[in-house]
Amino acid sequence: MSDPLVRAFFIGRAVAETISEQVEAAITNTLSDIGKLQAEYQENMRQFSNQVVERASREEEIAMSDRTSSSSTTATTVDA
């Protein structure tokens, strides 16, 4: 039969190792989740930036076509 002190030592060591493994797994999972969230955030920002640029381009094209059509209308009115 084992000495109670030796048994307590091994139980304590097993508890410490088990806790250490669980903490390591929790930290690894947390860091993984943070990495995923960061990648998702960056993708959302990229999509947002693209939408802003596309909208600005469309509005610029509309403004330029309105400007061109109004200047040709003005030129026709002045000629008449």
> What is residue 37's predicted lDDT score, i.e. its pLDDT?
98
**Planar angle of CA 66, 67, 71, nearest 5 degrees:** 115
> What is residue 69's predicted lDDT score, i.e. its pLDDT?
77
> Considering the chain, what is the average pLDDT of its residues?
90
Q: Which two tokens stand for residue 76?
A: 């026709």
**pLDDT, tens digit (0-9, with 9 covering 90-100), for 40-76:** 999 999 999 999 999 999 999 999 988 877 766 655 5
Q: Whole-angstrom Cα distance, residue 40 to residue 35? A: 9
